């Protein structure tokens, strides 16, 4: 049997790279779909750069390229997204931008992948929501609302696919331990944050056949806070 194939959107970000590394260590076949172009990927990884996942046709073309290359698709990990801290009275509201980057990308990639995931005996979709979307705070409205949309997409799609072998779940991380977050929050204790490698392991479990009994779950991954 050929190896399971997973597509990772936003695979060149900090979390995306951690998931790619862990997936390769697990012996999976990996495709990276990212808006960035000209990026290097580990040997054996299918690199699809310059993809605008906010455009449904572009998402469909990218997923089609993955299936054409590997002959199948077993899992989709929707990591592509963005973050803006902004109060509601900002002169240039970022709500549309946040919904496009966080929700529309996940929706378009999922819709494009569904026919192929249904053809797999163990199809999986794993989305990245946010713990901050459970209860928003000042300056977090646009981001939290878009991630709440990811939560609802996860739940509704899971229900729609109950009669198939495809499961849909989401992880809800708190603050990730990244170089940028350490720079932005120098007085915080990063030991209480979530290591990208730890979040990657949770996501890959949800993308594996072992998670067949879990669907529609919103799983907090909040470190030691």
Q: Hey, which residues are catalytic here?
A: 143
What's the burial of 105, exposed, middle or buried (CB within 10 Å: 0-12/13-18/19+)?
buried
Helices (H), the chain: 14-25, 56-70, 95-98, 105-119, 141-160, 179-184, 196-206
* CB 204, CB 19: distance < 8 Å: yes
Distance CA 75, CA 27 (A): 14
* CB 151, CB 129: distance < 8 Å: yes
């Amino acid at each position: 049997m050929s190896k399971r194939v997973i597509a990772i959107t936003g695979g060149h970000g900090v979390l995306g790279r951690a998931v790619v590394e862990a997936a390769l260590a697990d012996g999976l076949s990996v495709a990276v779909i990212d808006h960035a172009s000209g990026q290097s990927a580990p040997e054996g990884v299918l690199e699809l750069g310059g993809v605008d996942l906010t455009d449904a046709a572009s998402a469909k073309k990218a997923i089609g390229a993955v299936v054409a290359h590997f002959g199948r698709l077993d899992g989709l990990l929707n990591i592509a997204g963005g973050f803006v801290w902004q109060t509601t009275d900002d002169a240039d509201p970022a709500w549309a931008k946040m919904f496009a980057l966080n929700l529309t990308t996940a929706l378009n990639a999922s819709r494009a992948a569904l026919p192929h995931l249904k053809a797999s005996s163990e199809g999986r979709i794993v989305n990245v929501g946010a713990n901050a979307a459970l209860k928003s705070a000042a300056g977090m409205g646009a981001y939290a609302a878009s991630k709440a949309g990811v939560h609802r997409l996860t739940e509704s799609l899971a229900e729609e696919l109950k009669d198939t072998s495809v499961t849909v779940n989401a992880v809800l991380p708190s603050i990730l331990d990244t170089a940028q977050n350490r720079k932005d929050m120098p007085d915080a204790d990063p030991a209480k944050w979530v290591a990208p490698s730890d979040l990657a392991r949770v996501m890959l479990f949800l993308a594996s056949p072992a998670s067949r009994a879990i669907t529609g779950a919103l799983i907090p991954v909040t470190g030691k806070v």
